[in-house]
Amino acid sequence: MGENCRNTSEGRVCEITQPLVNGDPLDEATRKARGLVIVNGGCSGILLNRYWVLTARHCITNEPAGATAGVDIGSPAFPANQVTITAAWDPTLSAQASDYYEFAANRNLATGALPARDIVMVYLGLGDLGPVAGILPYIAEPDGTAPDRWTGVRLQTTDHIIQNGQGFGTFASGAFLSNGQADPRNPPQQATGLGTYRSGQFTPSDISANGYTLTLNSAAQVGQGGDSGGPTLVGRRDGRGLAVAGVQSTCSATGYVPNAPLPAGASNPGWAWATGISGCQYVSVEPLVREIGEAMMRAPVCKTDAECASTTLPLILDYVLADAAPAATASLTSITRYLTSDE
């Protein structure tokens, strides 16, 4: 852990550069054991198994100009083949997504309504990052229970959870003059540390079935930009390892470097210029665990070979489709819609 010190008009200022802000850096083995990944170079995520990533929905959307310090989960998703998932334990390992699973809460909407939950599953059907242990969602049932019987567990304010993310590890500092030039007495410095996975321990608050908040903890740790999609891990109820309780959506900035440049159409300069964050908001998997489990079971094991790459989705393993079912080359969305219909 090092310090970055400089003299300012208010005296000598030092920032701890230990890459969540001030979080504990994770070694390679831990990053792999937790299945941590980087989504499209800028967001965090977790492998539920070898082929499925859970992350924030806004991480795979084409946000409009100016959405730099907020989220727009209602924006159209990128084509799946434009989303790259990179292993946090080995930056040379990456895979292209082939499809998404949109949760029913975001899929079954009235005309013109926007998705309300900032969470999505990304399917690595055209490649993967190699064998991983996988971490399942936070459920009440023991190992081996069929997903259609899973029950999500709600976090408690007494829980000690582990939050993971690869966002900025510091806050910005300094100032710009009103003419846009750097203040020579207090030179502006952007937040640093993006791309380094770290973690911190928190206790959740504002808990509901759909989400929760993690505020600045006693170690001055808190989420930051780039931590979006980062998983919240909690001890399983059977005591056998960790489970995923949710993912980070967005944060509440307490301020920005004065007169920092604004991107076109933006109302604030973005997370790189945030000088503080009071807490971050998270999407809970509690009401979604059955969808997560069933989607994971329905997906085929798809490898990086010519046969797999030539189709969007091959036949689903251990599931015989009726004559009226979508073709094996149909998209995952179409197949999911068929399997979950009442027909």
Tens of pLDDT, residues 298-307: 755 555 444 4
Reading the block at residue 92, the tokens are: 């040379």
pTM flag (> 0.85):
no
- Dmax (CA) of the chain: 76
The contacts of residue 30 (CB under 8 Å, 6+ apart) are: none
The per-residue b/e assignment along 23-33, b for 16 or more CB within 10 angstroms, e otherwise, is bbebeeebbbb
Query: Cα separations (Å) of 310 from 50, 53, 97, 197, 313?
Result: 20, 22, 14, 34, 9
- What are the residues facing 251 on neighbouring strands? 280
Give yes or no for residue 331 having a pLDDT over 50.
no
pLDDT exceeds 80 at position 6: no
Residues 105-119 have pLDDT tens digits of 888 766 666 667 999
CB 132 within 8 A of CB 36: no
Split at pLDDT 50, 70, 90, the class of 14 is very low
For the range 31-36, what are the long-range contacts, defined as Cβ-Cβ under 8 Å and sequence gap of 24 or more? 31/88, 31/89, 31/197, 32/87, 32/88, 32/89, 32/90, 32/132, 33/133, 34/135, 34/164, 34/231, 34/233, 34/242, 35/132, 35/133, 35/134, 35/135, 36/88, 36/89, 36/164, 36/166, 36/197, 36/231
Q: Kindly state the tokens that stand for 180.
A: 């846009």
pLDDT of residue 214: 94
Residue 229, classed as helix, strand or coil, is coil
Summarize the confidence of residues 199-225 as an average pLDDT. 90
Indicate the length of the chain as a whole number: 343
pLDDT digits (tens, 9 = 90+) for 25-53: 899 999 999 999 999 988 999 999 999 99
32 phi/psi in degrees, rounded to 5: -75, -40
CA–centroid distance for 20 within its chain: 13
Q: What pLDDT is stored for residue 231 in this prediction?
A: 95
**Is the pLDDT assigned to residue 153 strictly greater than 60?**
yes
Helices (H), the chain: 28-33, 104-107, 289-298, 306-309, 332-339
Helix (H, G, I), strand (E, B) or coil at 71: coil
In the chain, the domains with their CATH numbers are: 3-291 (2.40.10)
Tokens 């969007």, residue located: 312
pLDDT at 9 over 70: no
